[in-house]
Amino acid sequence: MNYDIYLVGVGGQGVLTIGEILSETALRKGLPVNFYPTKGMAQRGGFVKAQLRLGRVGAGPTLPEKGADLVVAMEVSEALKAVRFVRPGGHFVLYGHVWAPTAVMLSKEPYPALADVLARIRGAGAEVRYLDPAGLPTYEGAPVAPNVYILGAAVAQTPLGVLLSADEVAYTVETRWKRGVERNRAALRGGLAAAVDEGGV
């Protein structure tokens, strides 16, 4: 099974870590992996994206437009940059975090309305899975890592979970860091059980 993933967000969200976890999990299964991360400004809030191609032998790292089986966007405005990559019938997981770009903060541009972003995604023929940041679980009184939470939701709510099972991803998450194992386990479990909005908000 070939499966192409496009990840997008802003610096500080752990977008690239999602790709690394999936790459490690796939390699452990013996699946071919091509992981191509790209950073914008090297600071918190800068544009970050990654392209991940699983199961393909000899394929280049760059996804064509309308070529991604799954798009995971962790910031609402950045999601617009990824819409052209999702294939019709593919899945688009959107985490509703808002990080206003400089142009928005300087009142030079308006921030896109969530409803408009969701309409653009649906207009591309994708199946939307929207997660409200208000639903982010906590562990010992502090919010869990959003990237691990979103990863869990993607595994549970899209065909990604057929290729890489929840148990296989959980093993990678639990062995990746020596500290915070229980917190990361709670984040992944929260994502696996998360309620998503499939029709828009």
Phi-psi region of 193 (alpha: psi -120 to 50; beta: other; left: phi over 0): alpha
Beta strands of 62-141 (E only): which ranges?
68-73, 86-95, 127-131, 138-139
Q: How many percent of the chain have pLDDT more than 90?
A: 76
What pLDDT does 43 receive? 56
Structure tokens at 200: 């828009």
Asked: is 3-192 a CATH 3.30.360.10 domain? The reply is: no
Average of pLDDT values for 73-89?
A: 96
* Least confident piece of the model among 1-5, 43-47, 54-58: 43-47
Q: What is the DSSP letter of 93?
A: E
Q: Map out the domains of the chain as residue ranges.
A: 3-192
Please tell me the distance from the alpha carbon of residue 140 to that of residue 200, in angstroms, as a whole number.
31
* Four-point Cα dihedral 144, 68, 35, 155, nearest 10: 30
pTM: 0.92
Work out the burial of residue 140: count CB atoms within 10 Å of its CB; fewer than 13 is exposed, 13-18 middle, 19 or more buried. Answer: exposed
pLDDT digits (tens, 9 = 90+) for 103-115: 677 778 899 999 9
30-53 pLDDT, tens digit each: 999 999 988 765 456 678 999 999
